Amino acid sequence: MKREILVAIALCGLLALTASGTAAPQPLKPFERGTWHELLRAHAGRPTLIHFWGVTCGPCKIELPQLGKFMADHPGIDVVTVSADLVPNLTTATQAMLDKAGLAAAENFIFNDGFVERLRFEIDPSWQGDIPRTMLVTPDGAIETIEGSAEISDLDQWSAKQRRQQ
């Protein structure tokens, strides 16, 4: 009897989630050596926006809510965020900022390696660590990098181009 009740409760929760149209918040994933290549493989064939940001980055605080709106307006684009802050142990603050910005349901990572230079080199050997940084990955794997804050109008145009090419 208990089992049937638990199954019914779980199904009700799943139905409520499906009916509401909102995905459950995703926990922060550790971004470690090899994660970059895994991330690209996991999103291969899909247009993907990958945004590098940090809790201590002023422009990032302004840009995150705009990216949250972009994600809501462009369900055909995979949105991934990577907290690349050099300040350790900011997991709670990172998650709170993502939640507030409407990005809790995105695929979210946080740098999890004391040797951040190795992580940055794996992503782009010329990257010195400046954030914000946005990488737009096309379904065929071509990558366009935006240094600094991305203009939402530019992201909208990129998204429209991806839709036309599908």
pLDDT, tens digit, 9 for 90 and up, residues 11-34 = 344 333 333 344 556 689 999 999
pLDDT under 50: residue ranges of the chain:
1-22
Query: Is residue 47 in a domain?
Result: yes
Query: Is residue 5 in a domain?
Result: no
Kindly tell me the sign of the dihedral angle through the C-alpha atoms of 12, 18, 20, 22: positive
Query: Is residue 13 in a domain?
Result: no
Query: Is residue 10 in a domain?
Result: no
Please say whether the beta carbons of 119 and 86 come within 8 A: no
The pLDDT of residue 27 is 83
Domains held by the chain: number: 1
The pLDDT of residue 95 is 95
- Mean pLDDT of the chain, nearest integer: 86
Partnered with residue 136 across adjacent β-strands are 49, 144
The pLDDT of residue 85 is 84
At 141, which CATH number? 3.40.30.10
* pTM exceeding the 0.85 threshold for the entire prediction: no
The pLDDT of residue 22 is 47
The pair of three-digit structure tokens given for residue 29, joined into one six-digit string: 């994933």
Query: Is residue 18 in a domain?
Result: no
Of 47, 23, 6, 153, residue with least CA distance to 99: 23
- For residue 29, give every residue at least 6 positions away whose Cβ sits within 8 Å of its Cβ, in sequence order, or none: 35, 107, 108, 109, 110
Query: Is residue 11 in a domain?
Result: no
Domain that holds residue 86: 25-165
